[in-house]
Amino acid sequence: MNSSLIGVAIGLVFIATLAGILSVPLLLRRQALSGDLVAHALLPGLVGAFMITGIKETSILLMGAVFTAWIALRLLSPLQKHPRIKSDGAMAVLISGAYALGVFMLSLLQKTENATQAGLDRYLLGSAAALQWHEVLWAGGIFLLIVGGILPNVSALQLWLFDPDQAKMRGINTHRLERGLEIGICLAVMMAVQFVGIVLAAALLIAPALIARPWVNSLLSLWIGAAAISAFAALTGTWISFQSPGMPTGPWIVLSLAIFWVISYAFWYSKRIIFQAK
């Protein structure tokens, strides 16, 4: 047990738990891949912020990244208003388009030979071992911010997630909830991308709610279950990856989630078969 392992574990537990909490509304609204879209759409903002300011300061780069990610997320629903665009087409166009834009800008930057200095390539695959103590504090702060935003609105969120029309009729400001959810996702993915990379950040926002889903029957228990599973997966992944040098942490967290999913559904499926056979 050394202090770097503890720091990495605490930071990753914060990030994974946050993603686990946000995976619940995404599953219920059938927008599970929003996390993937946000992760890809961070890239143009990241590069753009560096191009405009020329400063290597992480917080400025991340602000630019969250901005473009939020725009991409907001573009989803106008695209789907077109009668010929289905939800999957809109998602796929935005994911690949935003990423192509990001790589295009990155290649313009690489001409001037300071992209690697800005550490921009770190975001492609992420690096959990490089987690610093002040980044752990950041992760904790964002965690508290989002949980603090959710707690006062739990009942409104519950109604909105299960019955949006009813929520509107009751006078709940659903736009505010939607914007809040979008910003929460952008912030959570922004934290996750730095440590697990673009592709795998999406997994943290998909799997936890799906694992807990067969075993719960209320929103609150789904939330608690998803959060607990994410935290456990983060600890498992960190522990496994620290067993052997050069093992990446992010992929092991995602693999643990995948294994938990298989276990969860295998139990659920066999239970269902046994009780139906009777």
Partner 1 sequence: MNDSLWILTVAIIASIACALTGSTLVIRRQALTADAISHAVLPGIFFAYSISGGRNSFWLLPGAAAAGWFAAFLIQGLQSKLKLPSESATGLVFTAMFALGVVLISYYARQVDLDAECLLYGEMAYIPLEQFYLGDTPIGPKALWVLTPVVLFCIITLLPFYRYWNLISFDSIQARLLGYSPVWGHQWLMALVSWVCVAAFQAVGAILVVALMVIPAQTALLYARNLKQVWIQATLWALVSAIGGWWLAELLAAAYAASIGLVSLVAFGAVFLFTMPRRNT
CA distance 204 to 242: 20
Q: In angstroms, what is the minimal distance from the CB of 47 to partner 1? A: 11
- Per CB under 8 A, 83 contacts partner 1: yes
Per-residue binding string, partner 1, 3-32, x by CB under 8 A, is ------------------------x--xxx
Q: What are phi and psi of 94, to 5 degrees?
A: -70, -40
Q: Which one among 108, 130, 137, 154 touches partner 1, defined by CB under 8 A?
A: 108
CA distance 192 to 196: 6
Contact 46, 268 (CB under 8 A): no
Contact 20, 229 (CB under 8 A): yes
Greatest pairwise CA separation for the chain in angstroms: 70
Q: Which one among 89, 132, 215, 220 touches partner 1, defined by CB under 8 A?
A: 89
Tell me the window of 46-54, 150-158, 170-178, 246-254 that interacts with partner 1 (CB under 8 A).
246-254
- Per CB under 8 A, 266 contacts partner 1: no
Contact 48, 67 (CB under 8 A): no
Q: In angstroms, what is the minimal distance from the CB of 240 to partner 1? A: 9
Contact 186, 69 (CB under 8 A): yes
- Per CB under 8 A, 222 contacts partner 1: no
Q: In angstroms, what is the minimal distance from the CB of 134 to partner 1? A: 27
DSSP state of 82: S
Q: In angstroms, what is the minimal distance from the CB of 152 to partner 1? A: 28
Contact 27, 213 (CB under 8 A): yes
CA distance 20 to 128: 18
CA distance 159 to 7: 38
Q: Which one among 51, 79, 224, 228 touches partner 1, defined by CB under 8 A?
A: 79
- Per CB under 8 A, 246 contacts partner 1: yes
Tell me the window of 59-67, 156-164, 219-227, 243-251 that interacts with partner 1 (CB under 8 A).
243-251
Tell me the window of 168-176, 185-193, 204-212, 217-225 that interacts with partner 1 (CB under 8 A).
204-212
Q: In angstroms, what is the minimal distance from the CB of 153 to partner 1? A: 24
Q: Which one among 8, 10, 22, 33 touches partner 1, defined by CB under 8 A?
A: 33
